[in-house]
Amino acid sequence: MSDVRKRLESASFPDLGAMMEGYAQGAVETAQRDFRQTLDNSPDSVDVLDEILVMVGESPDRDLDYEVRLWGSYLGEIIRLRYAGSWEMTQYPGGTVAVPAVNVRGSRLFPLMKVYRRLTAGEEEDLRSFYNMVTERLGRPAQVN
């Protein structure tokens, strides 16, 4: 078990937002250490994340729940930061359990579910198409002073 994973799984986060930020930072560290890739919260890093998920998906030793939490948190943070959104627990459409979602002006996005589908369904669930659809629907990024 990696040091990042040990730290994240033993941490006590004050709320969901702090936990997602913590896991997203863990993704940045893991990308650098294990894949020699830089994740910088920019829209361009969506492509880097997608490349990492291809490699993660090929690993026979992967822990799907952990990988989804780690990389899905990072994808969610890209969106949350760009659009000044917030994390919330909400029921996934058609599901019966609450999962983390990013709320942007009333639109709920499920980045962890997208990463899950990317890891389990493959190329047809690429992150760039998802991110492009999100930015098209949400429009201009939030203006942060």
Look at the chain and report how many structural domains it folds into: 1
Give the tens place of pLDDT for each residue, 30-74: 999 999 999 999 999 999 999 999 999 998 888 999 999 999 999
Owning domain of residue 30: 3-134
SS (H, E, C) 100-143: EEEEECCEEECHHHHHHHHHHHCHHHCHHHHHHHHHHHHCCCCC
Beta bridge partners of 101: 88
Kindly state whether residue 143 falls inside one of the protein's structural domains: no
Confidence of residue 144 (pLDDT cuts 50, 70, 90): low
Of 130, 2, 110, 126, which Cα lies nearest the Cα of 54? 126
Kindly state whether residue 105 falls inside one of the protein's structural domains: yes
CATH of the domain at 114: 1.20.120.1090
